[in-house]
Structure 1
């Protein structure tokens, strides 16, 4: 009996040598944990994860792979969790701690020191465990060696990387790492004794014969791997499972497990219920529609299409900007989740800004969704700047309390939305039930990287919503398609949203998800708009054509010479009676040039700049100010009488803003249409009567082009960003309107013209191109195809393979991967094909050496002194961290970026690199002088609150 009165079956069944094998050690406290104890802890956690945390959607997939269904699947999970560390019962591992190795030696296990085993790195304990388990299954239970791999690889990969065939061969060539020569039988006896005990105690012993002939799909192998990793991380936490000899009454199960699970407090998953009622009733309940308001046709049809599908699968919703696609997707997600057994939802967006904008809407939806866990639901904002989002910070405190009608009756219950302390960070955050974040989190699903199985587990239990699907290039689409293939194999429901999706891309998405390349001609041929496409693997895809909502706008479009004097003169005329104009430039340099000239003409206070080259805190404040001034009328924005916003693409998708006049650089036609979505976005008075009289007709002036050239030539910066081929196609489909003289001929009718323009622009047909453009267009097309091929091939370097046939093990699954890839710049660069760039923290340093934050920062963060002789206080360090800035493209080139890093490292503050400064340790800091200037790598830098960072090459 144990000290708490509970029997300890593991101790009772093991001989002293097996009890002496150690698994955990803390050098600071000299605490330790025997292997048998960690095995029991891990098995217990694995069972609790299955019973109380894992969504039904995941359990069903794993159950389908096993002879006895869910009972077998649960048993397999607990058994693999139990045996995952058997490789620690080897001399290669045990010799790391002399005192604990002495204990094993005293019990008959000859254990050389690490120095006596120079090749120990060839048998890390995960791989060693895979080989030991393989030998045990073949010698004790009659398995073929080939049959063992699909399960033993789970043990081998529990530290995030599955072994390769070459690694297995190398370890097999060094048997002394698994069992000491001359003492082999003693080691073998202990290893098999522990495995026998694990099989008996978990109940797996009675099922091993039945499992021998099972062919487990790679999807199930991945999920098994992820569950073992998760259980191991929990069972390895000494705050939850204390080490010996100070474990006290928490030394043995079941009290030890029960108390650990209570302390962990892992929130249960969402248990969605099938939403009842008409779409109108459902939308009214979820989104608090005002009296008399009804869902738009595309929203109603999306719900009906989801209900009509034979099983949850893929839905693509194409509809105009402002039609409520997001609300439609969340409602469809609820239908899908109830039918699939999903335990959560992830919404993926192109940028951090769009993710932040979505997060508040997502929380509002969650506040009205039934089926929430009894006490708390876990939420995660999945991007690297989440610590700057006030809504997310609130979840990290006490959370947001919801008063829900959980059971559909009159009884109310309280649930909190929380950012759970254990479900945070780059590796574990996506395991939260509900998440909003950048699309990178989804693209990583197809990137060979360490701990990839955890990301697969995180997404396999959710409904996935992908917004702005048109916003990705060939490189990103390669990863998106592979992610969709795996999601389709998992049976994960997916909703994809776009206002401007090329028909060929629609077909590619369906093919990727279903795994069926042929049979989708009708999907690509559909030309209706709005359009809903649904697909389930093995079933012919269906296309639904919702009726238009009747909302729309006629936008007059005309060319404008790319001359700052011309721009200024035109805006003076257009804004003579007041009004708010948006000028979108494709590069920051063009923003600065235009803003400077317009300020000379209109005054400093009449022109605002918005782009990505601001400090994080300043950019967040800029976005908030734009929405406050130019947001929907029902928010009562403080709209200026006359103002000009000069911005880059940051306003293209991320902000709900509304302007009277639009001037835009030429861009791909789908993005031009997106930009038009910021023009007369909301009604202001009857027939826009609240706008100045000259601006009551929506007008878009297209600039950034030399209109006198043949063909018209986009400016260099635009060609660099988008490529000349795509821009020429955009010009070709808009040409008749840009060359027209009558208003009727210059009109782009939204939404009626969206799909025809996009489909024509991205078609292979060159009939729209004037003959005089032929030579230039052919050169541009060739360059475009070469660039696409290069992007596709580059993406394939680290692209995860498609799921293999059932039974094929995950050996070498992520071989030659990128290592640790997460939501850092390095990780994002892998899936976005971005050049290496340099992010720095920025502070002001006075002539006397005093360092402070910038004086204008909000919420008392401005002008805070940052000590240089010691680590800054936590709050000051967080403010500095929130003053991050990405240096411009000039600093992406090899010699320049290397020189910049060298100069920044030379200027490092030693006290800021200590463990006490963990918030900022390792970060590069750019110090500006009292005029907010600095010289770096041959460039003059100047930062202002109004314009952000300007960089000019030093003469």
Structure 2
């Protein structure tokens, strides 16, 4: 028996630093890493929950170590040991046998085998069924997918050869017994937890087990093939080494609750009313819960959200924060703000803030497998062999987050994260590594900015995420300028459904007090059976109300009317800015923005106009966003240009922190329109040119041929909109917004006081539209509801929980319907937004067989990139819309040098170490010719230093534009 236990292999030499790692050694390594995770990574709130589950202070550590050690119990089977010749030979010599052809014919994934064996052995040890049923999925799901109990066992035709007969069951039981003994824990029969944890805590635990396994499988951890050298002390030393090498740490430790004086000293100015109200609410909540902060643009909501996160983290034992922004482009400037804030809370901590972008993670493209074959289901789960070692950067001395966080599914584990809210929404989908994604969220305070921007497809994912966060009692702060009452109630009910343990929760109608800003707090006190507590408080704005003039600048929306429309906007801006001033023009499409920019450049010169849109490289977009934020800052009047026009697309809708004198905008739903208006006259004390002292909004992009200014004529026809605008937003929301805009001719918008009323009217199921519009409005409403319901149904099929299926209180079957994991991150936003998947590519230029960056920096042979230039190269990443990048575009591939892999077992040379390909292997390159042109998906494209990516027409046309 002794010889047989020690014959079992845990890691092959290739995946254990050149030396085989015995199974018991790998199990102890993983337990020791889990201990490090407990001591140096987990938030106090998580440790407290695990201690309660295990039955007392400190017992949670042992439970986590034990579960982590057992993750590879399934490798003690012929199915796994028989795959590797050296291991198979040693195991056979020790007296463990099997029928090799049968085992080869019927493979068995070791994670499923582990769940199968653990379920059997714990039952034999007398564990209660409810405890057994939540534990085995943690082992069966440690590679990211959670199978059904019915799919755990080996193929029936294998006749128990895959799991092992004769001595095998005795060896497997001995391995389970010995792990507990070596960890210094009670016998297995007495390790029963005292309570069944919530599914949220189970998922958190599963993510921690997967995290510990991946760290213990690090290429830097050299295996131990001598039984005499295997011990827990040795494993702890090895774990300490890898922990130090990876540079992991928790976020805040011993964070004190800041008072108002501390906060005002930190920022050098008094708190604004909404910031003071939010801080006070967070300081007095009965338990960790949700804060919904609603205030007009420019009131300081973002800072209020960060203040709340700090207070709630200090009070309830959370050690980090996730800040989710509406889009990737808005996350970049927020990253700087969050980093400065974190650094202000604790010196040196700002270096541990991560900015996550989609293309830094591997994400699956989704295809449901309801009718999949057995082979397709196996492909969805992944094979049970050794995995490719994750790419890891060396620890950089504390100047940036650990490279460990930038592996597959690990990004949210970083203590402080700024990202698109898509990362949160994706964690609520049945994705690979949902466990690690959720584990990263459940120890943090979650802050979501501009939450109203979540569309009908993303909303089910948001509500699902809030249910899991509520069940884990994670503090959540939602920020919005324009949240409708129905949306407010939906998000609150979702959080309370999780916190109360109900499948659904329906609260009493919330009060609708009048006030510029409002803070809604919901929580469930810790006392057993306590009822949810909801409070709503309001405060005044720090800015006085002002009347905003809203005017329609009609446009012929039937092509070809673009040139005349641009000429009208140019002429109006020339008149309005005759004495100086700064204007923002928001166009619906990139092509419209580029065309208007060309015309304005002729009028005002290249220094008087800035173009900003999505189809630019990350570098160009960041530089222009930074310029606009500095030149048009609402807080600093120094250096403001005499005259400047910013032409932007929807990147200016959210978190674009500028103050302009005049706004020109294409139509948009009312809440988005108000977001754009929020950039206008943001600083009430600024001295502006005489013509621009009254805040004025010019709405273009819609035809009002038969519509009087008020939009209320008895025979007035409804307006017509730009095709792309109507396709994106839907006709119904645009009609309601147009009516409010046209009505403003008689009733100017007094802001911020009227924002709640305007938003409520926009979301009213029976808006008060002109009688002459009724037929068009009713058809638009039917179409809008059909699209909304269809998109919501599509999203609900992929939610992490499948309500109504009786799935129970464990993780079993969480991924019953999943998808194969494919290369790249193109599917993540597409999944949670219901859009056609876009692509990201690194723009490079090829001339005469040689590659160079867009900036001119030369690359090596076949695109080889020295380590020190990788970050510069990645700044030339550009998002490509779906129409330019079908799922397998021929023109998008990694460069030849990026695809090269080091030969297995071969040591890297000094020259190879100087070239970084690990971070580029799964990046596509968009290769331009010497004139910066390329044909992609049948379109002739050109990258222009001023205009960004320009579509010059179909490739088969004789002349582009």
For normalisation by structure 1, the TM-score amounts to: 0.86
Q: Deviation per CA, 1:103-147, whole angstroms, max 9, x where unpaired?
A: 11111111554x5523443x21111112222222233x2246665
- Alpha-carbon separation, structure 1, partners of 2:516 and 2:249: 42
- Alpha-carbon separation, structure 1, partners of 2:872 and 2:240: 40
**Match for residue 756 of structure 2?**
755
Secondary structure of residue in 2 paired with 1:323 = coil
Q: Which residue, out of 448, 471, 486, partners 1:466?
A: 448
- Alpha-carbon separation, structure 1, partners of 2:69 and 2:506: 46
Q: Is contact 1:311–1:339 with CA below 8 Å preserved after alignment? A: no
Secondary structure of residue in 2 paired with 1:836 = coil
How do 1:173-184 residues align onto structure 2 when only pairs under 5 Å count?
Answer: 174-180=158-164, 184=165
**Match for residue 264 of structure 2?**
284
Distance 1:489 1:417, change over 3 A: farther
Secondary structure of residue in 2 paired with 1:926 = strand
> In the alignment, does 2:497 pair up with 1:510?
no
* Cα offset, 1:787, TM superposition: 0.8
Q: Which residue, out of 471, 480, 486, partners 2:468?
A: 486
Distance 1:504 1:247, change over 3 A: farther
Q: For structure 1, list consecutive stretches of 5 or more residues without a partner in the other structure.
A: 1-13, 388-394, 400-415, 855-861
Distance 1:911 1:86, change over 3 A: closer
* Cα offset, 1:514, TM superposition: 0.3
> In the alignment, does 2:552 pair up with 1:545?
no
How do 1:54-453 residues align onto structure 2 when only pairs under 5 Å count?
Answer: 54-66=42-54, 68-113=55-100, 115-121=101-107, 123-139=108-124, 141-143=125-127, 147-171=131-155, 174-180=158-164, 184-206=165-187, 208-209=189-190, 211=192, 214-244=195-225, 252-253=234-235, 255-277=237-259, 279=260, 281-286=261-266, 288-289=267-268, 293-369=269-345, 378-384=352-358, 418-453=400-435
- Alpha-carbon separation, structure 1, partners of 2:824 and 2:844: 24
* Cα offset, 1:254, TM superposition: 5.0
- Alpha-carbon separation, structure 2, partners of 1:161 and 1:358: 33
Secondary structure of residue in 2 paired with 1:304 = helix
Q: Which residue, out of 29, 32, 41, partners 1:41?
A: 29
**Match for residue 6 of structure 1?**
none
How do 1:556-567 residues align onto structure 2 when only pairs under 5 Å count?
Answer: 556-562=549-555, 563-567=565-569
> In the alignment, does 2:864 pair up with 1:863?
no
**Match for residue 730 of structure 1?**
737
- Alpha-carbon separation, structure 2, partners of 1:827 and 1:186: 47
Distance 1:41 1:732, change over 3 A: same
Distance 1:376 1:478, change over 3 A: closer
Q: Is contact 1:240–1:264 with CA below 8 Å preserved after alignment? A: no
**Match for residue 778 of structure 1?**
778
* Cα offset, 1:468, TM superposition: 0.5
Distance 1:903 1:225, change over 3 A: closer
Mean alpha-carbon deviation: is it higher for 709-718 or for 72-81?
Answer: 72-81
* Cα offset, 1:791, TM superposition: 0.9
- Alpha-carbon separation, structure 1, partners of 2:71 and 2:187: 19
Q: Deviation per CA, 1:200-259, whole angstroms, max 9, x where unpaired?
A: 333543573472784343223212212221221222225235443699899934544444
Q: Is contact 2:25–2:230 with CA below 8 Å preserved after alignment? A: no
Q: Which residue, out of 696, 703, 708, partners 1:699?
A: 696
Q: For structure 2, list consecutive stretches of 5 or more residues without a partner in the other structure.
A: 362-392, 525-530, 556-564, 707-716, 902-914
**Match for residue 498 of structure 1?**
480
Q: Is contact 2:844–2:925 with CA below 8 Å preserved after alignment? A: yes
Distance 1:461 1:175, change over 3 A: farther
Q: Is contact 1:217–1:806 with CA below 8 Å preserved after alignment? A: no
- Alpha-carbon separation, structure 2, partners of 1:590 and 1:62: 55
Distance 1:264 1:949, change over 3 A: closer
Q: Is contact 1:94–1:111 with CA below 8 Å preserved after alignment? A: no
**Match for residue 41 of structure 2?**
53
Distance 1:543 1:870, change over 3 A: closer
**Match for residue 385 of structure 2?**
none
* Cα offset, 1:342, TM superposition: 0.6
* Cα offset, 1:947, TM superposition: 0.9
How do 1:599-748 residues align onto structure 2 when only pairs under 5 Å count?
Answer: 599-632=601-634, 634=636, 636-637=638-639, 639-683=640-684, 688-689=686-687, 691-709=688-706, 710-738=717-745, 740=746, 745=747, 747-748=748-749
For normalisation by structure 2, the TM-score amounts to: 0.86
CA RMSD of aligned residues (A): 3.0
Secondary structure of residue in 2 paired with 1:818 = coil
- Alpha-carbon separation, structure 2, partners of 1:508 and 1:422: 36
**Match for residue 942 of structure 2?**
942
- Alpha-carbon separation, structure 1, partners of 2:192 and 2:154: 28
* Cα offset, 1:32, TM superposition: 0.7
How do 1:579-590 residues align onto structure 2 when only pairs under 5 Å count?
Answer: 579-590=581-592
Distance 1:643 1:635, change over 3 A: closer
- Alpha-carbon separation, structure 1, partners of 2:229 and 2:187: 34
Distance 1:308 1:921, change over 3 A: closer
- Alpha-carbon separation, structure 2, partners of 1:64 and 1:822: 40
- Alpha-carbon separation, structure 1, partners of 2:490 and 2:417: 26
- Alpha-carbon separation, structure 1, partners of 2:318 and 2:45: 5
* Cα offset, 1:942, TM superposition: 2.3
- Alpha-carbon separation, structure 1, partners of 2:229 and 2:126: 42
